[in-house]
Amino acid sequence: MSRYRKSNRMGIGRIIRQWVKKNHWEPDFDESLLSLKWSTFVGDRIGAHTRPRDLKGGVLTVIVGDSAWLNELSYLRRELIAKVNRGLGRRVVKELRLLSGVLKPSPKGAFSGAPQKRVQTPQSPPDEALVAQVLRELPEGLDPELADVIARARAAQLTEDPEE
Q: Is residue 16 part of a domain?
A: no
Q: Is 62 helix (H, G, I), strand (E, B) or coil?
A: strand
Which stretches within 43-163 are classed as H helix?
A: 44-47, 67-74, 77-88, 128-137, 144-160
* 69 shares its domain with 134: no
* 88 shares its domain with 132: no
DSSP state of 96: E
* 83 shares its domain with 125: no
* 85 shares its domain with 123: no
The total number of structural domains in the chain stands at 2
pTM: 0.56
* 60 shares its domain with 32: yes
Q: Is residue 8 part of a domain?
A: no
Which class for 33: exposed (0-12), middle (13-18), buried (19 or more C-beta within 10 A)? Answer: buried
- Position 148 scores a pLDDT of 79
Q: Is residue 10 part of a domain?
A: no
DSSP state of 121: -
> Residue 56: which H helix or E strand, with range?
strand 50-56
Q: What percent of the chain has pLDDT over 90?
A: 34
CATH code of 72's domain: 3.30.300.180
**Residue 61: which domain range?**
26-100
* 48 shares its domain with 96: yes
Q: Pick the more confident residue, 26 or 70.
A: 70
Q: Is residue 137 part of a domain?
A: yes
**CA gyration radius, the chain:** 19
* 144 shares its domain with 83: no
Q: Is 100 helix (H, G, I), strand (E, B) or coil?
A: strand
pLDDT tens-digit map of 41-63: 999 999 999 999 999 999 999 99
* 58 shares its domain with 124: no
* 82 shares its domain with 139: no
Q: Is residue 52 part of a domain?
A: yes
Q: Is residue 61 part of a domain?
A: yes
Q: Is residue 11 part of a domain?
A: no
Q: Is residue 1 part of a domain?
A: no
* 32 shares its domain with 60: yes
pLDDT tens-digit map of 82-128: 999 999 888 999 999 999 998 876 555 445 444 344 444 445 667 88
